[in-house]
Structure formats: C-alpha cells, structure tokens
Amino acid sequence: MECNGNSKESVGLDVLNYDLESEFSEFISTKAGVKGLVDSGIVKVPRFFLSSADVNYLEHTSSNGIENQVPVINLKGYEGKRRRTIVNEVLQASKTWGVFQIFNHDVPSAVMKSMLESVCGFHEQSNELKKDYYSHDSTRKVRYYATVQPARRTAFWKDTIACQFENMTEDFEALPLICREPMFDYVKHIVELKERLTKLLSEALGLECDHLELMECMEPRKVVGHYYPACPEPHLTLGTAEHTDPYFLTILLQGDIDGLQVLHQDQWIHVPPMEGALIVIIGDMLQLISNDLLRSAEHRVLANRKGPRLSAACFFYPNGRIKDRNHGPIEELLSDKNPALYKEITHAEYLKHHGVHGSCGSKALPHIKI
C-alpha cells in the first residue's frame, strides 16, 4: 500500500487544482492538531489524510469469531499454583499473536480512569493553553503533536501528548499540570506490572525468571496519550497506520471506543475494549532477542465516527546509560539446530532502521536477518 497521494477515482479529486504542500503546511502551522480540524466544522477528510489506494478501511476485517479472539489472560494467582498455566498462556499468546489482554493485573481501575481523563483533559483544552507544547521534534522530552509523515505530506487521524523520560520524578515535572500527577501515578503502577511480566516472559522463554530484568532492556522510557477525534469519513483514513513497535514491550490502555486491530493469519482482528483490561504488545526487539520464538504484533487503529477515542501506551526499551549496547538473540536460546537469525544491533540503531523500513505496513526486522 502506498502512503502518499490519493486516487482520483476513489475520492473524486481534481488533482490539478490541489496544492498538497500548501494544505499540509497550513495544517501543521495551526498547532491545533486533528481536533482543531474537527472543531472548525469540517465534514470531509482533508486530502492529505487519504490513501492512494482504493481502500475502504472499514472493510476486510474479521467478524471476530471464537477462533479469532485475541488471547485474554487472567493474572490472578501468578505467584501460586497457577503460575505454570499463566506462563504457558503468555508463551502461546506471544508466539501466535504477539498481543494479549490481561486482567487481575493490580493496576487500580481508578488510576486507569484518571489516566484517560487526563489525556482527554489535555487535548480538550483551548489551543492557547496547549500550542506551546506542539512540536515534531522527537528529541523533546514533552511534546504534543498530530501524527504526520512530513516526507510524504500525509497525516493520520490522531493527536498525541508524549513524555520521554530517564527519571520519572524529574522528567514528569515538564508535563502540563493537567496530566502530570495522573500520568505519574499510572506509569508507576505500570512499571510494577512490567516487572511481573518480564518474569513471566523470561520463564516462557525457558530462562531464569530474572533473565530479562538483568538484561536491562525493558526500562520505562516513554508514555503517550492518544486522542482520536470523531471522523466524518472514517473509511478514508486511519487513526494509526499499520506497524510493529520498534521497542521491546508495550503496555496499552484503551478507552471504551474500539478501533484497535491486530493482523493475525492475514486478517485484521478487532481488539475490543474490555473493562479493566490492559493490552500487552510484543515489540520487534523482543522478537529479535527471542530469535523469533516470540513475535511482534502488527497493529493499527481505525478512524471512527464516534469520538473521542482515548488510549495510553507505555513503551519499554533500554535507558540512555546503555544506549550503545548491542542486542542480539539470547545465547541460551541458540543451538546448532537453532542458530541466530539476526545480527546484533543497538536499540538506537534499530529505531533509525525502523524509521526507514518499518512504516506504512512494511516490516523492519527482516532487513537485519543474517
């Protein structure tokens, strides 16, 4: 699928009278994001949001029969008699889907609710209060932005508030006051959950329970709050393009409006909101170090006539102290019959690699296979 331009037949455009560069640049300059477009009263999706292919994104998805439900894992009793069962469920879900929902995870429902409310609160402020945070500079610790691909002059139906951090206590001080405390409290609980998940994943790989933790490859590094406004023509665009995460692990919270889909057996499968649940997504780097025993999940988010859709994601990857450390398949998983499939690479190098090869439905991992 191409990611720029659009089809005259599918959207009825007079291409000769259309200045993509001007319209795209004007959108960026407002610093109002997609919500600003919706607030202006638009009834049609601007052309720089459109795909060039004759694609109706609301078609060609699974009806989610029983055989096509994303795995759901109950973590209750993970330290007791059920641990072996839970480890096996984590292994099977991570091998076959690369994504699973969890409940009884000990993250309080009030904390999750407050997190989503703070995301909504930030994005629904007046533009005067939030425009100073608007930036497409990915090196900024805290920024708010519409999801765009400047080189292709395309955009997706989503606004985001993001915080990259090394030290939560210090770096979260840069967050807007409206979401500072709820985000801090939420991420604190998610980090505790991640510590339990790394033990389960280590055991799922047949390793000692502290193996992944000792590798220091899954540190909390980034939290984002996504806001997907209601879309007048949801069949013409996406909230998030299909992709895999270039990290080790993602823990995702979604609100009560659906839209998340995962690619499974060449079908797009809905991941319906489940009250109290969190979603665990295997990233490319975890697939790499597991030597393909685990798989990263290709996923996307549909646009929706209802809105706003809210979600929050925490991304786990190495901290800056070990940014130059190479990561390759774990030695204990290799043998003559199971040789290393990937070259060693630093996470920083992989992020750059993913930026080149891992957008618009392409996969980056195959490009670093031995």
Q: Where are the domains of the chain?
A: 30-320
Rounded to two decimals, the pTM is 0.91
pLDDT band at 61 (very low <50, low <70, confident <90, very high): low
Average pLDDT over residues 282-306: 97
- Burial classification of residue 54, based on how many CB atoms lie within 10 Å of its CB (0-12 exposed, 13-18 middle, 19 or more buried): exposed
Q: What is the pLDDT of residue 312?
A: 98
CATH of 30-320, one of 3.55.50.30, 2.40.37.10, 3.30.420.40, 2.60.120.330: 2.60.120.330
> Strand ranges (DSSP E) for 25-90?
72-74
Residue pointed to by tokens 């665009």: 237
The CA distance from 304 to 322, in Å, is: 40
Q: Which amino acid is at 262?
A: V
Average pLDDT over residues 137-150: 90
- Strand-pair partners of 164: 222
- Asked whether the predicted pLDDT for residue 264 surpasses 70, the reply is yes
Give the three-class secondary structure for 31. Answer: coil
Nearest to 200 by CA among 317, 316, 86: 86
Q: What is the pLDDT of residue 57?
A: 78
pLDDT digits (tens, 9 = 90+) for 308-366: 999 999 999 998 888 889 999 999 999 999 999 999 999 999 998 888 776 655 688 98
The CA distance from 108 to 128, in Å, is: 33
**Cis peptide preceding 220, ω within 30 of 0:** no
As a whole number, the mean pLDDT across the chain is: 90
Residue 49 · residue 231 · CB < 8 Å = no
Tokens of 337: 């019959």
What is the share, in percent, of the chain residues with pLDDT greater than 70?
Answer: 89
Q: What is the pLDDT of residue 50?
A: 80
Q: What is the pLDDT of residue 154?
A: 83
The CA distance from 61 to 78, in Å, is: 34
Average pLDDT over residues 105-125: 98
The CA distance from 173 to 184, in Å, is: 9
What is the share, in percent, of the chain residues with pLDDT greater than 90?
Answer: 76
- Strand-pair partners of 343: none
Q: Which of 11-20, 155-164, 204-213 has the lowest mean pLDDT?
A: 11-20
